[in-house]
Structure 1
Amino acid sequence: MVLQLLIVIAQTAAPADSLGVASGTVVFLRSMGGAFGVALSGAVFTARLGGDTVTSLAAVARRMRDPALAASSHEAVANAMTAVFTTGVPFALLAFAAVLAVLAVTPRSRLVPDGRA
């Protein structure tokens, strides 16, 4: 819901001859933010998980059929996911504050100013 609103705000704030640039910039920055967010989440997950911990524990648990080892690997993944979401909360709050800080912009009633065809 917020993403489309940001495009409208960018188009409203941009001059009429730069609407495409404004839209493209918003989409580009959204894509880059998503790429950096996924990279950061993956780095936190991998660092918290400790490398091949889950893979080795799951393989051992399958061979030995030991529920304790399987539970240990599940716990390791759960702890890593908790770290990912805990790291993401400040960024989500920062994004929320940035959206609230956007000034109310009155939409244009016309795309082309009077006097121009």
Structure 2
Amino acid sequence: MSYGQVLENVMEGFNDLVPRDLISIFHDKELELLISGLPDIDLDDMRGNTEYYGYSVASPVIQWFWEVAQALSKEDKARLLQFVTGTTKMGSYSSIVCRTNREAEG
């Protein structure tokens, strides 16, 4: 069975449980959150996998960022993770890259 056939079968089964017109108002990320719920986000892991270009771990703005991130609600942490990785789930990503053109700021 091909991937397309498997996906078609899954979608057919899903639509048997939840009619398509009821979920058509949600985009994929909203539907992911509805099905999976909010994840527990390990900010220490996220911080450990972040690469900085133009900044260092000791830069005040980076320290402030992580302080603010730590204070976020579970929902907002999921939104942050979605913004930087494209998904609301912690996964096996190699790194988050924080880049800036410091010369342009000057």
TM superposition score normalised by structure 1: 0.27
Compute the TM-score of the two structures, normalised by the length of structure 2. 0.29
Find the structure with the greater CA-based Rg: 1
Q: Which has the higher strand share?
A: 2
More helix by share: 1
**Of the two structures, which has the highest relative contact order with CA contacts closer than 8 Å and spacing of 6 or more?**
2
